[in-house]
Structure 1
Amino acid sequence: MNAAVFEAIKVLLDEGKVPTVALTKSRLVKPLPMPVIIAAVSQYKNNPDSIYNLMKTPEQASNSDPKNTQLDRIEQKLDRLLALLEQK
């Protein structure tokens, strides 16, 4: 996949939007051929995990456990704090 298209899809995902051809094309810094954009969006729609796997650097992929991400730890702390507040 083209790195520019990959970055555009990543930006859309970070914004909480579902990548479409039109949205992805609008996020590109420079114009690219439509078949490249369509292929990337199709790849995402067929297998969203493939994009997330590409987003991890090799170092992150080997060092991080998906069950123990920073977001999961923050959510656990928040759950504990909410439970403590409910007890009072």
Structure 2
Amino acid sequence: MNAAVFDAIKVLLDEGKVPTVALTKSRLIKPVPMPVIIAAVSQYKNNPDSIYNLMKSQVQPSSSDSKTSQLDRIEEKLDRLLTLLEK
């Protein structure tokens, strides 16, 4: 399954919505050929567990860790900018 389509279906499932071709297409970040979208939605409808297995098999970093590290980087950049401005 195309990663972009998988992510779109995952977003819909997280929102509690049933993936359809139109909803999945509206959630895509980048253009994907319609046959790929149709195949992915059909795969989900025929075997909903397949998408959950894909979700479990993907290693996802902890969102709180990534948010914290991103915040740390932003603070560090801000400190450097303030130091430059004070000169």
Do both share a fold (TM > 0.5)?
A: yes
**Aligned residue pairs, count:** 60
Rate the CA distance shift 1:57–1:37 in 2: closer, same or farther, 3 A.
Answer: same
SS in 2 for 1:56: helix
Alignment partners' CA distance in 1, 2:57 and 2:23: 25
Alignment partners' CA distance in 2, 1:18 and 1:58: 21
Structure 1, unaligned stretches of length 5 or more?
A: 60-88
Tell me the residue number matched to 1:4: 4
CA deviation string 1:43-77 (max 9, x = no partner): 00000000000001367xxxxxxxxxxxxxxxxxx
TM-score normalised according to structure 1 size? 0.65
Task: Name the amino acid aligned to 1:12.
Answer: L
State yes or no: 1:55 paired with 2:55: yes
RMSD: 1.6
Alignment partners' CA distance in 2, 1:42 and 1:2: 13
Rate the CA distance shift 1:30–1:46 in 2: closer, same or farther, 3 A.
Answer: same
Runs of 4 or more, structure 1, over 3 Å off, are none
Structure 2, unaligned stretches of length 5 or more?
A: 60-87
